[in-house]
């Protein structure tokens, strides 16, 4: 009951600002019209760096009681038929995305189904995604800044806000399961300063990494069109699962 009250308070505060993120245990507060989706997952063999088998992913997502997962391979787009086969047993919704490598860093893209393998100029990607009605998220935007940034170069939030990639995205990934608290906090502060929404995703490459961070949506989502619609509407919150 305490968990449910915390979740309700979070959503009420969210209506004032969708920049909030929190760390909440959801085991006791699953709501039918609130969806927890891991927006950032890589599987093997489509992502060469991943050790995560798609079937293991589905099993673990069900065990964690996730409502949905997004397959965001490195510049590899899943075939819709393969996704439907993977999802045939039900229990968790599966959505397609893509993680593109650009001249300004990695970008998660939803609602854009062009299969591109080469390095992209972010301006060109932005034009194509806008034309398709898609949504762009700066993935792990300050990965490594603790090593190469604030400690040695004294990077400030104001300086971080001037990163070129942030001019071309709709949101920042403020919760990434593979990053440190400091790296995620920098992304959160920058998102707040730029008035951009923040998403959460595990960036899982192994089964034990799934669901570390998720994005909680305020409405039920049935398909990829609705996912993109809710992303554009900003009706979501990045949440660290505990």
pLDDT in tens, 164-203: 999 999 999 999 999 999 999 999 999 999 999 999 999 9
pLDDT at 90: 74
Residue 237 bridge partners (DSSP): 216
* Size (the chain), residues: 242
User: Quick one: 186 exposed, middle or buried, by C-beta within 10 A (0-12, 13-18, 19+)?
Assistant: buried
Give pTM, 2 decimals: 0.86
Per-residue pLDDT, 10: 52
Provide the token pair at 118: 């080469």
pLDDT above 50 (res 158): yes
Domains parsed from the chain with CATH numbers: 29-241 (3.20.20.140)
Percent of the chain clearing pLDDT 90 (strictly above): 78
Is 136's pLDDT higher than 60? yes
């Amino acid at each position: 009951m305490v968990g449910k009250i915390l979740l309700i308070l979070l959503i009420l505060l969210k209506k004032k600002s969708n920049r909030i993120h929190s760390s909440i245990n959801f085991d006791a507060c699953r709501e039918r019209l609130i969806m927890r989706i891991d927006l950032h997952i890589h599987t093997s063999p489509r992502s060469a760096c991943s050790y995560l088998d798609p079937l293991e992913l589905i099993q673990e997502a069900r065990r964690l009681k996730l409502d949905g997962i997004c397959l965001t391979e490195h510049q590899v787009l899943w075939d819709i038929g393969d996704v439907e086969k993977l999802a045939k047993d039900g229990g968790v919704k599966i959505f397609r995305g893509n993680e593109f490598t650009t001249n300004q860093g990695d970008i998660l893209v939803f609602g854009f189904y062009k299969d591109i393998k080469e390095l992209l100029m972010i301006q060109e990607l932005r034009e194509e995604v806008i034309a398709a009605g898609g949504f762009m998220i700066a993935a792990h935007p300050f990965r490594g800044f603790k090593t190469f940034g604030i400690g040695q170069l004294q990077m400030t939030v104001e300086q971080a806000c001037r990163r070129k990639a942030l001019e071309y995205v709709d949101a920042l990934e403020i919760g990434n399961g593979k990053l440190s608290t400091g790296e995620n906090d920098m992304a959160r502060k920058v998102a707040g300063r730029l008035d951009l929404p923040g998403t959460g995703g595990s960036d899982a490459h192994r089964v034990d990494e799934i669901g570390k961070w998720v994005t909680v949506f305020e409405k039920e989502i049935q398909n990829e069109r609705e996912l993109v619609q809710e992303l554009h509407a900003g009706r979501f919150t990045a949440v660290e699962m505990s």
